Amino acid sequence: MSLQPLFASACPVIGVVHLLPLPTSPRWGGSLKVVIDRAEQEATALAAGGVDGIIVENFFDAPFTKSQVDPAVVSGMTLVIQRLKNLVTVPLGINVLRNDAHSGLAIAACTGCQFIRVNVLTGVMATDQGLIEGQAHHLLRYRRELGQDIKIFADVLVKHARPLGSPNLTTAVADTIQRGLADGVILSGWATGSPPSQEDLELSLDAAKGTPVFIGSGATWENIPDLIRFANGVIVASSLKRQGKIEQPVDPIRVSRFVAALRHALATEESIEGAKELPKSATSSMALPTPTLPLG
């Protein structure tokens, strides 16, 4: 799958809007207007900073349910998405935490979002919410019933969790794509703000065999030049917040700095690749004719 048609970039930066607590969550503040206002500010800051896409998460609803969220959460996220669609033109996605991909698909279908993120699509993961089992067979059938081509980006060996059984990364990547039918896979570190290793990204990129691999956590403008060499895109949140603190709102200056660092890294990589090809072509074009030796 090429990311260019969806994000207008072959290597997109996807910023994250972390919603303030929604109705029925433990820290719900009682005003949906406050939630919407903060989401609009963050989405605007992300778009102004140059991101290629935005994903909306009910991040501050912790502690999360491991499966279906309350209908009030679905309603609240739907209202937020509708408001954001009127503000920004970049593609929007949804992640309903901890693992309510069905609600994510439903919201996306009703609001015109282009993609969702699923923490556990295949396999079984031990999490602080308990055991979460992938429901790829139900999710893919539900997408077909909805009749919309909403892309499914799935985490592999997701953060804040441990797999039951052998944690073989290449097998997990292959299963998520070939058996779970994910449109893209996401690789994170062990927790929020922790980056994946370059070695794991390289293994995932090889195992994905052309399916996009996203960096899912821990990317900063300092490490993105190294990490993006082994990925097709990045989902970034913490480092775009004021002072790099997860509870703070998005800082448009930090967004611009991150996007510039990634674009510079890609341009540098392209220049290096171009230079590698130069000697061969240059030698070919400047080859001297073979001298003709006199007879006799």
- Domain limits, the chain: 10-284
Q: Phi and psi dihedrals of 215, rounded to 5?
A: -75, 125
Q: What is the dihedral of CA 157, 160, 166, 171, to 10 degrees?
A: 0
Residue 206 pLDDT more than 50? yes
For the segment 157-166, what is each residue's pLDDT rounded down to a tens digit?
Answer: 887 878 887 6
Residue 295 pLDDT more than 80? no
Range list of β-strands (E), 90-248 = 92-95, 115-118, 124-127, 130-133, 151-155, 161-163, 184-187, 213-215, 233-236
For the segment 58-100, what is each residue's pLDDT rounded down to a tens digit?
Answer: 999 999 998 899 999 999 999 999 999 999 999 999 999 999 9
Which amino acid is residue 180, in one-letter code?
Answer: G
With contact defined as beta carbons under 8 Å apart, do 231 and 215 qualify?
A: yes
pTM for the whole structure:
0.89
Q: Distance from CA of residue 168 to its chain's centroid? A: 21
CA atoms of 56 and 79, how far apart (whole Å) = 12
Range of weakest confidence among 101-115, 222-236, 280-294: 280-294
With contact defined as beta carbons under 8 Å apart, do 23 and 76 qualify?
A: yes
CA atoms of 196 and 228, how far apart (whole Å) = 11
Contacts of 14 (CB under 8 A, 6+ apart): 7, 51, 52, 53, 54, 55, 93, 214, 233, 234, 235, 236
Q: Which CATH class is domain 10-284?
A: alpha beta
| Owner of token pair 């923490």 | 119
Name the token pair of 181: 């039918």
